[in-house]
A = this chain, B = another copy of it.
Amino acid sequence: MVIVMALDATEADVAAVVDLVEAAGGEAFVSRGLDRTIVGLIGDVDLFATLNLRSLTGVADVVRISVPYKLISREHHPDRSTVHVGGVPIGPDTVTLIAGPCAVETHEQTLAAAHMAQAAGATVLRGGAYKPRTSPYAFQGLGEAGLKILADVREETGLPIVTEVVSADDVDTVAAYADMLQVGTRNMQNFPLLQAVGRAGKPVMLKRGMSATIEEWLMAAEYIAQRGNLDIVLCERGIRTFEKATRNTLDIAAVPVAQRLSHLPVIIDPSHSGGRRDLVLPLTKAAIAVGADGVIVDVHPHPETALCDGPQALITSDLPELAEAVGTLTEVTGRTQARSLTPA
């Protein structure tokens, strides 16, 4: 941590900084320049953060140098991790395709979508039973009835399931059915929810908040990790910008950036970022090429009657091209498609 003193800071101001840091058990190195003095701090950064150095007289700025997360950082854990979802790996050696409907509507629709997912080569099924919706008048999901449908479809297809949980109260219920819990973009900083999924004993897919920095996203993962759960998969799903042609702007560089900072796997959601069916295939290719550890896509047997996000769902005739693209790009990036490691 570096303290930048103001131009008009006095020697007494500098001494006050040094005293406070030393009283807290740290060391302070003073460097005096022509215009300014800076003070470098050595010691426990988290302790320094509680000192409110920024509010001392004569302090112009406080520059933090080390990353504020620990458990998920790659600094002391250089190997990238693999998370297993019902026997299917998500990690550096594989590319995992996750597919399914945005929302679970009926058993028939979910089973049809699961068959579509398998036709595309997916080995994990996605589907929402609890839907956070911007409008209180929009379809909010089937709740536990939807979870039962997902569990039935898992039985019939062998696909492990990932599904969203929107409230700390629902975590136990969702964890009783799901193979992986999803925390959505609007809940990335719902800290009670993060702590609850951290205790649930199931892998977690953490979507990036639509206006979260990568650092905040990693801090949210740290919340989960701090409760003892390191089976976290980060999912980039687009950030909010001024561009209107797409629902969100896919931050493709977030994949290599997050992979360098954290050992956790990182996947991409090309369906929700673009919000347009015609962008799913090109963004899927880009995702695998950039090094994402997986891709999660919306498919729907009848998007024209979908209760949620129909315009972005792939349809049956799109699947061969998706399957081929995923296969080809996985191969040229030196990986294999993730398959279940447990006997069917």
Contact = CB atoms under 8 A, between A and B. Distances in A.
B250 A253 contact: yes
B289 A46 contact: no
A127 B216 CA distance: 24
A65 B40 CA distance: 13
Contact of A54 (B2, B135, B245, B311): B311
B253 A274 contact: yes
Contacts of A329: 289, 332
Interface in A20-41: 29, 31-36, 38, 40
A38 B36 contact: no
Contacts of A286: 252, 286-287, 289-290
B274 A52 contact: no
Contact of A213 (B66, B239, B244): B244
Interface in A60-83: 61, 63, 65-66, 68-69, 75
Nearest to A329: B289
A202 to B, nearest CB: 19
Interface stretch (A92-100, A117-125, A149-157, A182-190): A182-190
Contact of A2 (B38, B167, B214, B256): B38
B285 A257 contact: no
Interface string A256-288: 110010000000000001100111001101111
B137 A311 contact: no
Contact of A65 (B4, B132, B138, B167): B4
Contacts of A214: 243, 245
A34 B41 CA distance: 11
A307 interface: yes
A246 interface: yes
A215 interface: yes
A210 interface: yes
A42 interface: yes
A310 B134 contact: no
A219 interface: yes
Given A242-B241, A246-B253, A306-B55, A192 B166 contact: yes
Contact of A279 (B211, B257, B277): B257
Given A52-B306, A279-B256, A289-B329, A239 B245 contact: no
B245 A241 contact: no
Interface in A281-308: 282-283, 285-291, 303-307
Contact of A168 (B167, B222, B285): B167
Nearest to A260: B278
Contacts of A223: 136
A334 to B, nearest CB: 10
Interface in A124-173: 132-140, 166-169
A3 to B, nearest CB: 10
Nearest to A313: B55
17 contacts: A35-B75, A38-B65, A52-B304, A52-B305, A56-B304, A136-B191, A136-B222, A166-B192, A169-B192, A186-B189, A239-B241, A239-B242, A241-B242, A241-B249, A243-B254, A245-B254, A285-B289
The 9 closest A-B pairs by CB, nearest first: A211-B211, A289-B289, A31-B40, A33-B42, A286-B290, A186-B189, A285-B289, A52-B310, A286-B286
